[in-house]
Amino acid sequence: MIKINLLPHRALKRAARRRDFYVMAGAAFAASVLIVIVGGVVISSYITTQTNRNAFIKDANAKLDIQIAEIAQLRSEIDALKARKQAVENLQSDRNLPVHMLEELGRHIPEGIYLNSSLQDGMRVALNGYAQSNERIAELLRNLGNNSIWLERPELLEIRLVAVGNRRLFEFGVNVYLRRPNEKEIAEAAAKVAGAAGLREVAAAPATAPAVAAPAAAVKPAAAAAPKK
Protein backbone atom coordinates (compact mmCIF):
# COMPACT_ATOMS: atom_id res chain seq x y z
CA MET A 1 0.00 0.00 0.00
CA ILE A 2 1.28 3.42 -0.95
CA LYS A 3 1.62 5.98 1.90
CA ILE A 4 1.37 9.63 1.05
CA ASN A 5 2.63 12.27 3.55
CA LEU A 6 0.40 15.24 3.23
CA LEU A 7 2.15 17.25 6.06
CA PRO A 8 4.04 20.52 5.12
CA HIS A 9 7.52 18.87 5.53
CA ARG A 10 9.27 21.61 3.67
CA ALA A 11 7.89 24.29 5.96
CA LEU A 12 8.85 22.19 8.97
CA LYS A 13 12.41 21.82 7.64
CA ARG A 14 12.64 25.54 7.01
CA ALA A 15 11.37 26.23 10.54
CA ALA A 16 13.94 23.79 11.96
CA ARG A 17 16.79 25.38 9.99
CA ARG A 18 15.59 28.83 11.07
CA ARG A 19 15.52 27.69 14.69
CA ASP A 20 19.01 26.22 14.37
CA PHE A 21 20.24 29.44 12.77
CA TYR A 22 18.84 31.54 15.59
CA VAL A 23 20.40 29.22 18.17
CA MET A 24 23.78 29.39 16.45
CA ALA A 25 23.51 33.15 15.98
CA GLY A 26 22.64 33.55 19.66
CA ALA A 27 25.51 31.31 20.69
CA ALA A 28 27.92 33.23 18.42
CA PHE A 29 26.64 36.53 19.79
CA ALA A 30 27.01 35.30 23.37
CA ALA A 31 30.50 34.01 22.60
CA SER A 32 31.48 37.30 20.98
CA VAL A 33 30.05 39.25 23.91
CA LEU A 34 31.95 36.99 26.29
CA ILE A 35 35.14 37.43 24.26
CA VAL A 36 34.68 41.22 24.23
CA ILE A 37 34.08 41.25 27.98
CA VAL A 38 37.09 39.06 28.71
CA GLY A 39 39.24 41.08 26.30
CA GLY A 40 38.06 44.31 27.90
CA VAL A 41 38.88 42.98 31.37
CA VAL A 42 42.34 41.85 30.25
CA ILE A 43 43.03 45.12 28.44
CA SER A 44 41.73 47.07 31.42
CA SER A 45 44.08 45.13 33.71
CA TYR A 46 46.96 45.85 31.32
CA ILE A 47 46.01 49.53 31.25
CA THR A 48 45.78 49.62 35.06
CA THR A 49 49.17 47.93 35.40
CA GLN A 50 50.78 50.29 32.89
CA THR A 51 49.12 53.26 34.59
CA ASN A 52 50.54 52.13 37.93
CA ARG A 53 53.96 51.72 36.32
CA ASN A 54 53.73 55.16 34.76
CA ALA A 55 52.71 56.65 38.10
CA PHE A 56 55.65 54.87 39.80
CA ILE A 57 58.06 56.13 37.13
CA LYS A 58 56.61 59.63 37.44
CA ASP A 59 57.05 59.57 41.22
CA ALA A 60 60.59 58.22 40.83
CA ASN A 61 61.38 60.94 38.30
CA ALA A 62 60.02 63.56 40.66
CA LYS A 63 62.21 62.20 43.48
CA LEU A 64 65.20 62.13 41.12
CA ASP A 65 64.51 65.71 40.09
CA ILE A 66 64.49 66.73 43.75
CA GLN A 67 67.74 64.82 44.37
CA ILE A 68 69.32 66.33 41.24
CA ALA A 69 68.33 69.80 42.42
CA GLU A 70 69.81 69.06 45.85
CA ILE A 71 73.00 67.73 44.23
CA ALA A 72 73.23 70.81 42.02
CA GLN A 73 72.75 73.02 45.08
CA LEU A 74 75.40 71.04 46.97
CA ARG A 75 77.76 71.36 44.02
CA SER A 76 77.19 75.09 43.87
CA GLU A 77 77.82 75.32 47.61
CA ILE A 78 80.97 73.19 47.25
CA ASP A 79 82.18 75.36 44.38
CA ALA A 80 81.49 78.47 46.44
CA LEU A 81 83.41 76.98 49.40
CA LYS A 82 86.28 76.04 47.08
CA ALA A 83 86.30 79.56 45.67
CA ARG A 84 86.35 81.01 49.19
CA LYS A 85 89.11 78.61 50.21
CA GLN A 86 91.12 79.50 47.12
CA ALA A 87 90.57 83.19 47.79
CA VAL A 88 91.75 82.79 51.39
CA GLU A 89 94.78 80.77 50.25
CA ASN A 90 95.55 83.37 47.60
CA LEU A 91 95.29 86.12 50.19
CA GLN A 92 97.59 84.24 52.54
CA SER A 93 100.09 83.50 49.78
CA ASP A 94 99.82 86.98 48.26
CA ARG A 95 100.57 88.48 51.65
CA ASN A 96 104.13 87.23 51.32
CA LEU A 97 104.48 87.94 47.61
CA PRO A 98 106.12 91.38 48.06
CA VAL A 99 108.70 89.81 50.37
CA HIS A 100 109.46 87.06 47.86
CA MET A 101 109.52 89.61 45.05
CA LEU A 102 112.10 91.76 46.80
CA GLU A 103 114.14 88.68 47.71
CA GLU A 104 114.10 87.45 44.11
CA LEU A 105 114.98 90.87 42.75
CA GLY A 106 117.91 91.13 45.14
CA ARG A 107 119.04 87.65 44.15
CA HIS A 108 118.70 87.87 40.38
CA ILE A 109 119.55 91.50 39.58
CA PRO A 110 123.02 91.43 38.02
CA GLU A 111 125.78 93.87 38.77
CA GLY A 112 125.60 97.13 36.87
CA ILE A 113 121.82 97.54 37.27
CA TYR A 114 120.22 99.95 39.72
CA LEU A 115 116.48 99.94 40.31
CA ASN A 116 114.85 103.32 40.62
CA SER A 117 111.28 102.24 41.40
CA SER A 118 108.97 99.22 41.50
CA LEU A 119 105.18 99.40 41.30
CA GLN A 120 102.90 96.41 41.88
CA ASP A 121 99.47 96.31 40.24
CA GLY A 122 97.83 93.00 41.04
CA MET A 123 100.19 90.33 39.76
CA ARG A 124 102.10 92.74 37.51
CA VAL A 125 105.18 94.54 38.74
CA ALA A 126 106.64 97.51 36.84
CA LEU A 127 110.37 97.96 37.32
CA ASN A 128 112.30 101.08 36.35
CA GLY A 129 116.00 101.63 36.72
CA TYR A 130 119.38 102.27 35.16
CA ALA A 131 121.86 99.87 33.56
CA GLN A 132 125.44 100.25 32.49
CA SER A 133 124.82 98.40 29.21
CA ASN A 134 122.18 96.59 27.20
CA GLU A 135 123.82 93.27 28.07
CA ARG A 136 123.02 93.87 31.73
CA ILE A 137 119.35 94.38 30.87
CA ALA A 138 119.32 91.19 28.77
CA GLU A 139 120.89 89.29 31.67
CA LEU A 140 118.22 90.69 34.01
CA LEU A 141 115.47 89.48 31.69
CA ARG A 142 117.05 86.02 31.47
CA ASN A 143 117.37 85.76 35.24
CA LEU A 144 113.78 86.81 35.88
CA GLY A 145 112.39 84.53 33.19
CA ASN A 146 114.43 81.38 33.83
CA ASN A 147 115.87 81.41 37.34
CA SER A 148 112.99 82.63 39.52
CA ILE A 149 110.02 80.61 40.77
CA TRP A 150 108.17 83.72 42.00
CA LEU A 151 108.57 85.86 38.88
CA GLU A 152 107.77 85.08 35.25
CA ARG A 153 107.14 86.57 31.80
CA PRO A 154 109.47 89.59 31.93
CA GLU A 155 108.59 92.18 29.28
CA LEU A 156 110.96 94.92 28.19
CA LEU A 157 109.03 98.15 27.69
CA GLU A 158 111.70 100.67 26.73
CA ILE A 159 115.39 101.49 26.79
CA ARG A 160 116.80 104.97 26.36
CA LEU A 161 120.18 106.55 26.82
CA VAL A 162 120.24 109.25 29.50
CA ALA A 163 122.88 111.30 31.24
CA VAL A 164 123.12 110.82 35.01
CA GLY A 165 125.69 113.23 36.38
CA ASN A 166 128.84 112.69 34.37
CA ARG A 167 127.86 109.19 33.25
CA ARG A 168 125.75 107.97 30.39
CA LEU A 169 123.47 105.15 31.45
CA PHE A 170 120.61 103.20 29.93
CA GLU A 171 117.25 103.87 31.53
CA PHE A 172 114.87 100.93 31.13
CA GLY A 173 111.35 99.85 32.00
CA VAL A 174 110.42 96.20 32.55
CA ASN A 175 107.15 94.49 33.43
CA VAL A 176 107.33 91.19 35.27
CA TYR A 177 104.50 89.07 36.63
CA LEU A 178 104.27 87.40 40.00
CA ARG A 179 103.31 83.74 40.21
CA ARG A 180 102.27 81.36 42.95
CA PRO A 181 104.57 78.31 42.88
CA ASN A 182 103.43 75.03 44.36
CA GLU A 183 104.96 73.42 47.41
CA LYS A 184 107.15 71.11 45.34
CA GLU A 185 108.71 74.02 43.46
CA ILE A 186 109.28 75.93 46.71
CA ALA A 187 110.95 72.88 48.30
CA GLU A 188 113.16 72.31 45.26
CA ALA A 189 114.17 75.98 45.20
CA ALA A 190 114.94 75.93 48.94
CA ALA A 191 117.04 72.78 48.52
CA LYS A 192 118.89 74.36 45.61
CA VAL A 193 119.60 77.52 47.63
CA ALA A 194 120.73 75.45 50.61
CA GLY A 195 123.02 73.39 48.36
CA ALA A 196 124.52 76.50 46.84
CA ALA A 197 125.07 78.00 50.30
CA GLY A 198 126.77 74.79 51.45
CA LEU A 199 129.07 74.82 48.44
CA ARG A 200 130.01 78.45 49.15
CA GLU A 201 130.78 77.59 52.79
CA VAL A 202 132.93 74.65 51.73
CA ALA A 203 134.78 76.80 49.21
CA ALA A 204 135.32 79.56 51.80
CA ALA A 205 136.57 77.24 54.57
CA PRO A 206 140.44 77.27 55.05
CA ALA A 207 142.30 74.13 54.08
CA THR A 208 143.79 72.35 57.12
CA ALA A 209 147.11 70.48 56.88
CA PRO A 210 146.81 66.73 57.49
CA ALA A 211 148.37 65.42 60.70
CA VAL A 212 151.82 63.83 60.18
CA ALA A 213 152.22 60.54 61.97
CA ALA A 214 155.40 59.95 63.88
CA PRO A 215 157.77 57.53 62.18
CA ALA A 216 157.65 54.02 63.52
CA ALA A 217 161.44 53.94 64.14
CA ALA A 218 161.21 56.78 66.65
CA VAL A 219 159.01 54.75 68.97
CA LYS A 220 161.02 52.38 71.11
CA PRO A 221 159.34 49.34 72.54
CA ALA A 222 159.12 49.12 76.35
CA ALA A 223 160.98 45.81 76.47
CA ALA A 224 164.06 47.33 74.84
CA ALA A 225 164.18 50.20 77.35
CA ALA A 226 164.44 47.83 80.40
CA PRO A 227 168.04 47.15 81.65
CA LYS A 228 169.48 43.65 81.38
CA LYS A 229 170.34 41.77 84.58
The residues spanned by each domain of the chain are 17-95, 97-202
pLDDT tens-place string over residues 89-129: 777 766 777 777 788 888 888 888 888 888 888 788 898 88
- pLDDT value of position 46: 92
CATH of domain 97-202: 3.30.1360.100
- pLDDT value of position 30: 92
Q: What is the 3-state secondary structure (H, E, C) of the chain?
A: CCCCCCCCHHHHHHHHHHHHHHHHHHHHHHHHHHHHHHHHHHHHHHHHHHHHHHHHHHHHHHHHHHHHHHHHHHHHHHHHHHHHHHHHHHHHHHHCHHHHHHHHHHHHCCCCEEEEEEEEECCEEEEEEEECCHHHHHHHHHHHHHCCCCEEEEEEEEEEEEEECCEEEEEEEEEEEECCCCHHHHHHHHHHHHHHHHHHHHHHCCCCCCCCCCCHHHCCCHHHHCCCC
- pLDDT value of position 219: 38
Low-confidence ranges of the chain (pLDDT < 50): 207-229
- pLDDT value of position 209: 41
